[in-house]
């Protein structure tokens, strides 16, 4: 079978540093931090009292109040980002075959706020089971693509991918393959997450996964810095319209970039820690390059997983050095989590948007909050510290790695007809 080429024709983003794609990209290039004290709940007794929250968002701007109450915030975010992506791609569904348009959406945790509220209310009562009839439909992860399909009347493939922080990258990979093999013309893909609540922050605190730099939240996410002390929780959504090249050309769509290849692997090592030698990361990146029919020296930029954890950052860099060899020193590497925080299941989609725009604009967004070199990391590597850099980017790679050892990598390249 000859595989179809897949291109990106629409983008949508709702992030801690911008509620639209233009706002998000502008903040990335300027090196804006989205971290601030938590406003979602009283965090005064928590080890971590800050996060990267979405700001100035009102779900009722995207749906009726009655309907908004029936869905969890992670679905609010999904619908908002998808609205932007659909408009950006100029999709007129009445003129398209909606049987061949699908939605594949990732989330690592889903409706955690809904679950927390319902269980808290039950525990505070007299034991009589009084649960919201929308409890289960609000909580389950697959309800996000369900709502998106119902919003637009899309009858193609529709499901969720769940692989912790790699979830939305896996959603993109599934979208790529459904279009490649001729099972769909368009897939709306992406991911959303909304875990900034008592259970989310408390749970990650219990794992000692979060930064506790409460005195200086804006500089707390500092990937590859010697004094990094954990990731900063983020929330939001990213939506990407994937389309077969022939379908995009036939309707005169603008094309941001080509999704050229993807790779996946498993660490098979630990429930939360990455493989210390970067085994799974190296496999995923190598598989993605091969799938894209490129050589390693064709990659110009890697948007790394780079969570700002003591163990995870060095293992990813070790994998890059082993896979790319001498070419590693020609790469730009950056972690946009230094600005957005870690969006968990939405990270892959949001960071893919950053990678797509890097290719389109020949601009590498920075890794901000670098103060002290880590003596265990090769100083000759270009981590794009603190300031964006201009360079020709013909191909960019985006890495995401999830609890459970799930690794997923996608490669975007400049579109050439």
Predicted local distance difference test score (pLDDT) of residue 144 = 98
Predicted local distance difference test score (pLDDT) of residue 73 = 98
Supply the residues annotated as catalytic: 165, 305, 342
Sign of CA dihedral 15, 17, 19, 22: negative
| Cα 359 from chain centroid (whole Å) | 17
Query: 6-250, superfamily in CATH?
Result: Thiolase/Chalcone synthase (3.40.47.10)
pTM: 0.98
Q: What burial letters (b/e) apply to 306-337, b meaning 16+ CB within 10 Å?
A: bbbbeebbbbbbbbbbbbbeeebeebbbbbbb
Predicted local distance difference test score (pLDDT) of residue 28 = 98
Note the pLDDT tens digit of each residue in 151-192. 999 999 999 999 999 999 999 999 999 999 999 999 999 999
Domain ranges of the chain: 6-250, 264-413
Q: Do 6-250 and 264-413 show the same overall fold?
A: yes
Specify the CATH number of the domain 264-413: 3.40.47.10
Whole-angstrom Cα distance, residue 67 to residue 198?
25
pLDDT greater than 80 at residue 1: no
């Amino acid at each position: 079978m000859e595989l179809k080429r897949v291109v990106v024709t629409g983008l949508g983003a709702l992030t801690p540093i911008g509620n639209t794609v233009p706002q998000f990209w502008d903040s990335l290039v300027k090196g804006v931090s989205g971290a601030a004290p938590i406003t979602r709940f009283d965090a005064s007794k928590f080890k971590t009292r800050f996060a990267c929250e979405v700001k100035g968002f009102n779900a009722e701007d995207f749906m009726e109040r009655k309907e908004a109450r029936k869905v969890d915030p992670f679905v609010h975010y999904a619908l908002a980002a998808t609205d932007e992506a659909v408009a950006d791609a100029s999709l007129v569904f009445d003129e398209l075959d909606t049987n061949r348009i699908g939605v594949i959406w990732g989330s690592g945790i889903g409706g955690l706020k809904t679950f927390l509220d319902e269980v808290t209310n039950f525990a505070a009562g007299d034991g009589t089971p009084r649960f919201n009839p929308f409890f289960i439909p609000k909580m389950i992860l697959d309800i996000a693509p369900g709502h998106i399909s119902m919003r637009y009347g899309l009858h193609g493939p529709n499901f969720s991918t769940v692989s912790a922080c790699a979830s939305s990258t896996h959603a993109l990979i599934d979208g790529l393959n459904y279009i490649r093999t001729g099972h769909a013309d368009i897939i709306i893909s992406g991911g959303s997450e909304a875990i900034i609540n008592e259970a989310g922050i408390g749970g990650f605190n219990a794992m000692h996964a979060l930064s506790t730099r409460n005195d200086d939240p804006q500089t707390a996410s500092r990937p590859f810095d010697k004094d990094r002390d954990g990731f900063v929780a983020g929330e939001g959504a990213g939506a990407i319209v994937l389309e077969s090249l022939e379908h995009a050309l036939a309707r005169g769509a603008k094309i941001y970039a080509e999704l050229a290849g993807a790779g996946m692997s498993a660490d098979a090592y630990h429930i939360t820690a990455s493989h210390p030698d970067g085994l799974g990361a190296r496999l995923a990146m190598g598989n993605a390059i091969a799938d894209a029919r490129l050589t390693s020296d064709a990659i110009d930029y890697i948007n790394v997983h780079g969570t700002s954890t003591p163990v995870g950052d060095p293992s990813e860099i070790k994998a890059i050095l082993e896979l790319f060899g001498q070419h590693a020193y020609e790469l730009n590497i950056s972690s946009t989590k230094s600005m957005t925080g870690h969006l968990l299941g939405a990270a892959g989609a949001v960071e893919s948007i950053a990678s797509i725009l890097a290719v389109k604009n020949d601009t590498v967004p920075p890794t901000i909050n670098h103060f002290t070199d880590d003596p265990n990391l090769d100083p000759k590597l270009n981590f794009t510290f603190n300031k964006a850099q201009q360079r020709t980017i013909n191909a960019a790679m985006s890495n995401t790695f999830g609890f459970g050892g799930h690794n997923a990598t996608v490669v975007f390249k400049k579109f050439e007809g």
